Structure 1
Amino acid sequence: MVHRTFHTLQFENKLHRSVSTLSSQSTWSQNAITIFGSQAGTSGSSLSLLNNPIGMYYDGPNNMLIVSDFGNHRILQFSINYPPSVATVIAGGNDYGCKMNQFTVTIGVAFDSSRQLYVADSDCNRTIKFPANSNSTTSGTCVGSVSQPQNLCINPSTGDIYVASYDDNAVYKFIGGSETAVVAAGGNGDGNALNQFAGPNGVYYDYLYTNALYVTDTRNHRVMKFPPDSTSATYGIVVAGNNGSETVTSNATQPKNKLCEYLKRRKVMWIIVIIIVIVLIITIPIVIIKTKKANSEKTSTKEEGTIKITEEMEVTTVFFSTHFCNPESTITSTSATTLPTTSTSTTSAVWVKIAPDSVIGDQNCASGGYVPSATLSDCESGCLSVSGCTAVDWNVNGAGCSYRQCTTYPPNYSGRSDWEIWAIETETSTTTTTTISIPGSVLIGFIGIIVREEVPADMTFS
C-alpha cells in the first residue's frame, strides 16, 4: 500500500528568492524534492516518517514546517533548511484519545505571535492550545468547543483565531484568542446561498492585502470571500469555483402541449400503467373474448383534430409520452401490447468486523463524530444516524466510539490495542416482474377512461 502523502515536497522557483512579484514569464521546476518523509511513500512512526499527514503550517521566521501527523496522533516540527531532517514532537504522540496531551483526528495547526501552538482536534470537537516550546509530555488547554473543526488560521495583528466547523457549516472566530467565539461566516444551515456553506474545510484571513476572510466550501465546490468583522448575517462573494446556482431551462424550451406538461409534472403515465395492469389481471379472460370478436368483424379508424389512432396498435408508455406530446403524429402498429419486464433491487446493510486491535488510518475516511462511551450496538446505530457514516472505531471496553465516513472499502488501518474496526457491507436482492401481453384496443379503452378522470377540467388539446 502506497501512501502518497507521506512525504512533503518542495518546488524551487528559478527566480531569485528576493523577488516577490512574479512575471508572466516566471517558470517553476518540474521536479520536486522530498524534504521530509519517505521517498517511496512508506508510512511509519519514527521521527523521520509520517503516517497520513493532513494539516501544515509554515513558521517563516525559523524556516520550519509544522505538520499534523494524523496517523500517529501527533504534531511534528522540522527544519527545511537542510532536508531531509529528523522531526521533533511538539504535541501529542500519546496514542488516540481526548486527554489534553492526546489527539484523535488532527487537522488544522498554527502558531500565534508568541509561538503558542493551536490544533483543531476533529473527533474531540475542540480547539486546543499548547505553550511555546511544548513537547509530547505537555498538556494543552481547551480554547473552545467546535463541532468537527477542520483547518484554522490566526490573524497576527489581532490575535483572532478562525476555525472552520464542518458539521455546523460555519466559521467561528475566537476574539483575541480568548474562549469567546462568535460566528464569522455561515452558520445558516447546509446550503449554497451566499451566507451558507456545505462542509467548509479551509479558512484563511488575509491581514496583509485584502483584509478579508477566505473559506473553501467543500461540497459547493467554491471559494468564498467575506469582509472584515463579518457575521452569520453577512453575505460573501464567490472568488473561485461554482457559484452553487442550478441550471434553469428557459420557458421557451418547455413543452407547449398542456397534456404533455401535465403528465410530466404529475407522473400520471406511471399511475395509468399500474392501474391498467391491476384491472387487466382481474378482467383479462372477458376482455380477450370480446376483443377477438370485435376484431374479427372490422377495424375502425377514428380521426379527431390532427391525431389519428387505429384500433389495432401497440400502446406502451412510449406511445403516451411521445405521441400525445406531438399532435402531428399518426399512430399505427400491431394489435398486441407488451408491457416491459422490470426489476426491483433491495439493498440491506450488514456490519462486518474488519480488524481487531486496530483503528482506521485512511485519508479517504473523514471523521463523522466521537462518543466517549458506547456499546457496539450503540456505536453502530449511532453511525447509521450520521450522514455518510460507513464504519466505526469501537473500544472493546466501551470507552469510546468514532464514526467514519469512508469512500473506500475496506479502509486502511493501523494497530491499536483494545479497539476494533467495524464497517458496513451491503447485500442486494433483485425481484423481476413477468411480461404481460394484451390486445392494444383494450389498452386504448382503459387509457381513455383514466385520462378523462385525471386531466383537469380546464385542460384543452390541440
Structure 2
Amino acid sequence: MVFEFHSYTKCDAKQESVYRTKNLQLIVNVPANANWAQNGVTIAGGNGQGGATNQLNQLQGLFFNDDQTVVIADWGNHRIMQWNNGDTKNGQVVAGGKGAGNGLNQLNGPTDVLIDKETDSLIICDWGNQRVVRWSRRSDTTQGEILIDHIACYGLAMGEERNLYVSDNGKQEVRRYKLGEKIGTLVAGGNGQGAGLNQLNYPTFLFVDQQQNVYVPEWKNHRVMKWSKDATEGIVIAGGQGAGSALTQLNGPLGLFVDTVGTLYVVDEFNHRVMRWTQGANQGTVIVGGNGPGAGANQLNLPVGLSFDQHGNFYVAEYINGRVQQFSIQ
C-alpha cells in the first residue's frame, strides 16, 4: 500500500557470486533457472495487525542484514522493528514507537529503512514528517537526528561511496546525496508528474547497482524504470503497459531487487505476487504468489517490501497480513 501527500566485500567465502559493495548493499548472482518454495515461512509478525512486540501493522520496506537480523518499517505503529534470526515470536523496537509525532524521539509513518554499517546506524524515511533521519543502533539510543528535511521521501538506497539515494514522490524525482548534504543531485525525474521517459509518477522504493544505475518503480505508471548514471531520461524495463495482471503488466510495483546480471525482481502489489523480469524481456514470470489475496502460505496480501539475503532467499513484507514471509531458493 502506498500513501500520498496531498499538501504539496565479501559476504560468504563459499559463494564467490555474493558480496557487498562498499555501501553494504547486497549483490547476488541468482541462477537464471532458480526457483523458490511456493509456500512462505513467517519470520516476523503474522499475529494480526497490532502494536505488540509480536505484531506488525501496515508494514512497508525492510532490510535484511547478514542473515542475523531484519529491520522493518512498521508504518502503522510509527516505529522501526528489528527481528533477530531464530526468534520469530517477538521483535524489538529500535526507533520510534512513541506514537506519531515529529519529535526527535518519534516517527510518523516510516516507509523505508536501511542499515549503514559504517556508523552502525539506521537511516529511515520518515514519510509523515517529510524527512530522512538517522538513529544509532546503540541500545541506549532514545532519539534520532535529521539528515534531510522538507522531502516527501518514500524509498532509500545507498550506493558506492556511501551516497544516499532518496525518492521524492512530491517532486516526482530521485536525488543522490553525499551524507551531510541537504540539496543533493538529481538522478531521475524532476520534470513533473507524468508518463514521459524523463518523468516519474509516484516513485517508491529504489535499487542502485555498482554502475550507479538507479532502478525506480513507479506506482502510478505501473512500470519500473532504469536510469543510467547522468541520464536525462530512463528506459522501461518492466511493465509500462497500463495496470493489469497479464505477464506484460504490473499493477502497483513497489519493492525491488536487481541481481548481478541485471535480472529484476519486483513486488506487484495489487496482483499479490512477486515477478522476475530478465534483462531485455518484454514480459515477466511469477515466482511466488499470484494466488489471490489471502493469508495462506502460498498467498500474499498487498505485498510491499522486498529484500534478499546472501543465499538467494528473499523476504516479502505484506501490508495487510502484517508479516514478513521468507521464500527459500530451491
- Is TM (by shorter chain) over 0.5? yes
1:173 aligns with 2:171: no
TM-score, normalised by the number of residues in structure 2:
0.61
Aligned residues: 220
Contact 2:99 2:106 in 1 (8 A): yes
Q: Partner amino acid for 1:240?
A: A
Q: Could you tell me which residue of structure 2 aligns to residue 57 of structure 1?
A: 63
Contact 1:222 1:242 in 2 (8 A): yes
Provide the C-alpha distance between the structure 2 equivalents of 1:123 and 1:176, rounded to a whole number of angstroms: 21
Q: Could you tell me which residue of structure 1 aligns to residue 102 of structure 2?
A: 98
Query: How is 1:219-238 mapped onto 2 (pairs within 5 angstroms)?
Result: 219-230=220-231, 234-238=232-236
Deviating beyond 6 angstroms after TM superposition, the runs of 4 or more aligned structure 1 residues are none
Q: Partner amino acid for 1:79?
A: N
Q: Partner amino acid for 1:160?
A: N
Q: Could you tell me which residue of structure 2 aligns to residue 78 of structure 1?
A: 83
Give unmatched runs, 5+ long, in structure 1: 4-16, 245-362, 365-462
Provide the C-alpha distance between the structure 1 equivalents of 2:213 and 2:93, rounded to a whole number of angstroms: 33
TM-score, normalised by the number of residues in structure 1:
0.44
SS at match of 1:123: helix
Provide the C-alpha distance between the structure 1 equivalents of 2:187 and 2:62, rounded to a whole number of angstroms: 23
Contact 1:106 1:119 in 2 (8 A): yes
SS at match of 2:76: helix
Select the residue among 96, 103, 114 that pairs with 1:110.
114
1:188 aligns with 2:194: no
Q: Could you tell me which residue of structure 1 aligns to residue 38 of structure 2?
A: 30
What percentage of aligned pairs have identical amino acids? 30
Q: Partner amino acid for 2:106?
A: Q
Deviates more, 1:87-96 or 1:18-27: 18-27
Shift of 1:124: 0.9
Q: Max radius of gyration: which structure?
A: 1
Shift of 1:134: 5.2
Query: How is 1:202-281 mapped onto 2 (pairs within 5 angstroms)?
Result: 202-207=205-210, 210-230=211-231, 234-242=232-240
Provide the C-alpha distance between the structure 1 equivalents of 2:237 and 2:147, rounded to a whole number of angstroms: 31
- 1:25/1:166 Cα in 2 relative to 1: closer, same or farther (>3 Å)? closer
Shift of 1:211: 3.3
Which is bigger in relative contact order (C-alpha 8 A, separation at least 6)? 2
C-alpha RMSD over aligned residues: 2.6
Q: Could you tell me which residue of structure 2 aligns to residue 423 of structure 1?
A: none
The structure carrying a bigger helix percent of its residues is 1
Shift of 1:188: 0.8
Provide the C-alpha distance between the structure 1 equivalents of 2:183 and 2:161, rounded to a whole number of angstroms: 14
Query: How is 1:403-422 mapped onto 2 (pairs within 5 angstroms)?
Result: none
Query: How is 1:151-162 mapped onto 2 (pairs within 5 angstroms)?
Result: 151-155=155-159, 157-162=160-165
Q: Could you tell me which residue of structure 1 aligns to residue 253 of structure 2?
A: none
C-alpha deviations, 1:280-330, integer Å up to 9, x for none?
A: xxxxxxxxxxxxxxxxxxxxxxxxxxxxxxxxxxxxxxxxxxxxxxxxxxx
Give unmatched runs, 5+ long, in structure 2: 2-13, 18-28, 243-301, 304-330
Q: Partner amino acid for 1:75?
A: I
- 1:180/1:238 Cα in 2 relative to 1: closer, same or farther (>3 Å)? same
Shift of 1:146: 4.2
Select the residue among 185, 204, 211 that pairs with 1:201.
204
C-alpha deviations, 1:397-453, integer Å up to 9, x for none?
A: xxxxxxxxxxxxxxxxxxxxxxxxxxxxxxxxxxxxxxxxxxxxxxxxxxxxxxxxx
Contact 1:161 1:177 in 2 (8 A): no
1:67 aligns with 2:83: no
Q: Could you tell me which residue of structure 2 aligns to residue 139 of structure 1?
A: 143
SS at match of 2:61: strand
Shift of 1:83: 3.9
